[in-house]
């Protein structure tokens, strides 16, 4: 998560946003079934070296409707453009379907062309744009219906 923040926000802001202790607690929070319905999914080489991860969780709208959220995704720079990001996204969608969630989404910087292209390739559309509270970075919400509703993104 720290590496993702540094890559997206730059070294100074990416390091200052959250302490390593907070980020470790955040992963533990996702792994505690009393706190969250979530999973940390890993991408590995055939030799078992972890080259990427994504964190997915069940969320609810204010009206109580459930949806899947991709909280974060990262692939090591040396392992990119080899399909790991795609595999992590598909594994996340599988987890959402297993949890009977009708739709899923993620938020990222409007400048994050790599992630936006990855998601658009898999049928996601931008449905919302908002400034991030702390940094003011323009964020976009990428959304997809998991049961292929005609005419919907
Ligand atoms: C975005 C990210 C996860 C992609 O991982 P990856 O393993 O390189 O992705 P893949 O090899 O599976 O690529 C799948 C698709 O993503 C898109 N993509 C990935 N890298 C891209 C790049 N450098 N430029 C343009 N499109 C890119 C393409 O559509 C690609 O499909 P294609 O190869 O048929 O063109 C990776 O670049 C990353 O970890 N970035 C930093 C972290 C980050 O931005 N996380 C999200 C923060 S919310």
Write out the H or E segment, with its range, that includes residue 55: strand 50-60
Nearest atom within ligand 1 for CA of residue 8: 44
How deeply is 128 buried, as exposed, middle or buried, from its count of CB atoms within 10 A (0-12, 13-18, 19+)? exposed
What is the distance in A from the centroid of ligand 1 to the CA of 100?
27
CATH topology of domain 39-145: Aminopeptidase (3.40.630)
Higher per-residue confidence, 38 vs 133: 38
What is the distance in A from the centroid of ligand 1 to the CA of 64?
32
What DSSP character marks residue 78?
A: G
* pLDDT recorded at residue 121: 98
Q: What is the pLDDT of residues 51-89, one digit of tens each?
A: 999 999 999 999 999 999 999 999 999 999 999 999 999
d(CA 48, CA 50): 6
Nearest atom within ligand 1 for CA of residue 88: 12
Q: What is the pLDDT of residues 16-50, one digit of tens each?
A: 889 999 999 999 999 999 999 999 999 999 999 99
pLDDT surpassing 70 at residue 102: yes
Query: pTM of the predicted model, to two decimals?
Result: 0.92
**Average pLDDT of the chain?**
94
Domain ranges of the chain: 39-145
């Amino acid at each position: 998560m720290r590496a993702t923040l540094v890559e997206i926000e730059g070294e100074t802001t990416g390091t200052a946003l959250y302490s390593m202790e907070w980020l470790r607690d955040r992963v533990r929070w996702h792994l505690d079934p009393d706190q969250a319905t979530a999973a940390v999914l890993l991408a590995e080489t055939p030799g078992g070296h972890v080259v990427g991860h994504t964190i997915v969780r069940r969320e609810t709208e204010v009206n109580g409707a459930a949806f899947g959220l991709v909280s974060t995704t990262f692939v090591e720079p040396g392992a990119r453009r080899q399909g790991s990001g795609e595999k992590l996204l598909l594994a996340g969608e599988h987890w959402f379907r297993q949890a009977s969630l009708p739709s899923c989404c993620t938020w990222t910087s409007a400048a994050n062309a790599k992630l936006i292209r990855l998601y658009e390739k898999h049928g996601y559309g931008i449905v919302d744009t908002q400034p991030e509270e702390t940094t003011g970075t323009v964020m976009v919400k990428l959304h997809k219906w998991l049961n292929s509703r005609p005419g919907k993104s």
